[in-house]
Amino acid sequence: MAFRLKLVPAETNIDFFRVQWLTFGLSIVLIVLSIGIVAVKGLNFGVDFLGGTTIRTESTTPVDVGAYRDALQPLDLGDVTITEVNDPGFRDDQHVAQVRIGAREGEEAVTPEVITEVEAALQAVDPAIVFAAVESVGPKVSGELIWWAIIAVTAGSVGILIYIWMRFEWQMAVGTVAAMLHDVIVTLGIWSLFGLKFDLSIVAALLTILGYSVNDTVVIFDRLRENLAKYKTMPLREMMNLTANETLSRTVMTASTTLISLIVLIVWGGDVIRGFVFAMILGVLLGTYSTLYMAKNIVLFLGVDRGDKPKKSASEFADVEA
């Protein structure tokens, strides 16, 4: 007999609404706190958004951040951030640092001459140092990237809202989008709280989180729609609990397998993708939570029309398929 791994029992009877005001209230508090933190602290934008130059250094000798900073002090640079990069995949004699230099006030970008001076100053501290990569972004381009990032996330949310409305009911569309925005806003709040670097890879992670969250929610709502036709007299709250329990195995299995892959990437994938992967891990955890405890709550609050209605016409998007 083939072995089948089961992370949850074949049949469960969990009451997901038993503490609905606590879970839903927690979500609202997290959203409000996240918005407040971002408003007060802002985001630690990377060079992609602020403009400036990032120099990645490698050396066979240990990184001395203090010595690097002292060497750059006389150069009259803009904001300078020096961080040592650690990765399990590095060799024992591979020491990596990242030097981020903001453009000076009144200048469009860090000039090649300044970059040459920075490299010379660092080589005076450590003759074995090499410069693995130099990335520069001008402030005009970075400003456009911020707006395009906002447009991308907004357009993704609106598109998903329209699709869910056509595919299911408007109440489910509202619940789905609210859950997605919960995931994105809380992720941004965590990013702001800990001052993690926010660059284009994190924008890509946020868009991926939107897709993951809506996929998980749609599976539950699709089963709910089937149950609405099957159990015409069952109370909506009881039916939604039944639906969540029927799809719980799939929800847990999907989240678990995704997290396994992400954990492998965050440990051995290298520092270049670590921010993206960490955002994805947050998204999977938050997406699973919001699907089970937020999206369904909103649908329950709004109610669903359970009257016997004739089949919708094509103009009502009844036959739109995934």
In order of start, what are the domains of the chain with their CATH numbers?
20-44+142-306 (1.20.1640.10), 52-137 (3.30.70.120)
pLDDT of residue 144: 74
Sequence-distant (≥ 6) Cβ neighbours of residue 237 within 8 angstroms:
17, 300
| Beta bridge pairs of residue 54 | 100, 135
pLDDT of residue 99: 86
pLDDT of residue 319: 47
Please give the Cα distance from 177 to 180 (Å, whole number).
Answer: 5
Please give the Cα distance from 274 to 144 (Å, whole number).
Answer: 25
For residues 137-154, one letter each, b for 16 or more C-beta atoms within 10 angstroms of the residue's C-beta and e for the rest, the string is bebeebeebbeebeeebe
Residue 270's Cβ-count burial label (10 Å; 0-12, 13-18, 19+) is middle
CB 163 within 8 A of CB 180: no
pLDDT of residue 321: 43
Of 180, 308, 290, 299, nearest in space to 239 by CA: 299
pLDDT of residue 143: 65
Q: Can you give the pTM of this predicted structure?
A: 0.74
DSSP code at position 295 = I
Please give the Cα distance from 96 to 112 (Å, whole number).
Answer: 22
Mean pLDDT for back-to-back runs of 10 residues, the chain (322 residues): 62 83 90 95 78 85 87 80 79 85 68 86 89 75 72 81 80 86 92 87 85 83 86 87 88 90 87 85 91 86 65 43 40
pLDDT of residue 98: 85
Strands 52-59, 130-137: pairing is: antiparallel
Phi, psi of 260 (to 5 degrees): -60, -45
Type and span of the H or E element at 145: helix 139-167
CB 180 within 8 A of CB 159: no
pLDDT of residue 316: 45
pLDDT of residue 315: 39
Residue 94, token pair as written in the block? 């591979």
Of 136, 138, 113, 146, nearest in space to 54 by CA: 136
Q: Radius of gyration (Cα) for the chain, nearest Å? A: 25
Of 240, 212, 213, nearest in space to 225 by CA: 240
For residues 217-245, one letter each, b for 16 or more C-beta atoms within 10 angstroms of the residue's C-beta and e for the rest, the string is bbbbbbbbbebbeeeeeeebeebbbbbbb
134-139-140 Cα angle (round to 5): 120
* Coil vs helix vs strand at 199: coil
